Structure 1
Amino acid sequence: EANNQEFLQKNTINRYLTGIRSSFLTGGAFYTVMNGAQPAEAWIFRDDIGAPHGIKGYEEQVNSVGMHHGHNHFPADITWNTFNSATLRRGFKVFSRACQGCHGAMHQKYDLVIDKAFNQRELMNKMVYLPKVHPAHQKYRGDYFQEWDYRQRVINDRIWPPYMTVHQAKNANQGVWPPDLSKVSTMSPGLSSYPYNLLTGYHYNAPFGLDVPEGRYFNPYYDHMIIAMPPQLHDGMIEYDDGTPSSAPQMAHDVAEYISYLAKSKVPDTKVVLSMILFVTFTFYPISYLFTKYHYVNTYSHRFEVYAVKNGGYKKFREKAFKTHKVPGNWMGAYS
């Protein structure tokens, strides 16, 4: 037993793996203690918002606006975690009722949430609540028949906006075009928190000197703070199937998670795959290095020594040592 213990302590690979394990445990403990649970952040990249205390000259009302607004918990933003299925179910309902009237997310399809939030039959049943789609939406439709009329959406449709053209969208929305929501949670300041902050940011009054035109609204989270979209979420406007109280912040949080899922559904899986690759690399690369070094140290540690001997010298030595061809005869010194 004592010999075995001594062997383990002297074994290079075992010592390396023990060190790695200790480092991981220490690092994990340090991360948990220092910043394990930070609130979700949202930033406003605007020159006229004085960092970090809100709009210049208006600090008393909008204080640190957007920095820690709402204290959201988006689990997919935390390492190793994935999207919450119940949240996605609720978010899909909010998206269908509150967003799909004007917005689309045409880079994704409805069936993206199958097996994550709904099964196939459940999702098919929910299609009746969505606005009808016109064949002109589908630029390259692969049907062998010609569709002539509006039809109900199906789960393998793209999440088309209800408008067929930009002009139609602008005509219906006071001259502005409701943007596509496919990538809004990856390309906006605040990432996943951006839809939440925007949808719950209507309660501020516009600062002195900023005139809000009729039919527009002040929202400090929007790009230039004057937004054409009216407040969309009101407490109790829909009824969640799972009984969750549908307050406006709750609905905003759920639909923000759904919009994030549209943009980043593969990210948790990618994180896992990358971490597996890194784990294998950082484990086996040093081990392979040690084995290689263990082998090559025997190659590099030879030293040829030349002696001044009576019958020979270096010429005869190198003829023997660096011999390139078999020479006939005189095996085992038979004739010498």
Structure 2
Amino acid sequence: MKVLVADDDPGSLLVARAAVERAGHDCLTAEDGDQAWALYLEYQPEVVVTDWMMPGMDGLALCRAIRSREEDLYTYVVLLTSQGSRDDVLAGLEAGADDYVTKPLDPFVLHARLLVARRITSLHADLAHYRRVLSRQARTDPLTGLHNRLKLSEDLEQLHLRSQRYGEQFSLAMCDVDNFKSYNDIYGHQEGDLALRAVAAALLGSTRKSDGVYRFGGEEFLLVLPQQSPVRAKALMERVLDAVRDLAIAHAGDPSGQLRLSAGMSSFSVDHPGDANALLGEADAALYAAKAAGRNRLELAG
């Protein structure tokens, strides 16, 4: 572990550093609270052992600052104090300390606290990992591996706000696999799932890394195209439709004999500043227009 020790007493600092290094940990040292805070921000140590009374930021203020800063990783804080009253102990714990050690510092006691700190920080690291995994799973479509509608709502809101602020353009394209119900009826749902995966891969392969590809539901997909004018977005979407045609997936229920895609596109600009829901509605209406015009095509919002 990385352990930061903050103490303005050189003797106590020396004893603490020796105990930390003897326990097999990397040790950073600070002679006052302000230096300790700067080292904490730079190195993000797993453990902070801090004196209560020291120049600059005192131990309680350092505890509070650490707790207000933490996100995924947890820092175990041990407060060093020569004040052993119950009120002082409670004040330290309420400020965010996990434990306390009274001075003069006993190396054995500090070693024991570090053993506990390793267990606690390891548990928090595991929990943070599982939270990240669950967060990704909650935003991922399990069939295609694309982003889902939850991730779409988050991304689209941020993109819309950024585009409004900086006057940037972006485009949305709602896509739907043509005659997909009949495909499932003819070939079965297992083949239908394989077809959807293939279409998802074609969409990903035809777009930029900065573009967003989402499974909107069923056989519907949505493409979010940041900083794309209608002209450039239209050219990209024509390539997307070609990529699906190039899959050459047989479909006896489609007039073309192969699986095809229809799409409707809307765009945000300074001259057309609709909100995200309105743009989605326009793209959906354009998709229905593409279906009504014979499918296997792209239509633009009017």
Q: TM-score band, normalised by the shorter chain? A: under 0.3
**Larger Rg, first or second structure (1 or 2):** 1
Structure scoring higher RCO (CA < 8 A, sep ≥ 6) equals 1
TM-score by length of 2: 0.24
Higher helix share: 2
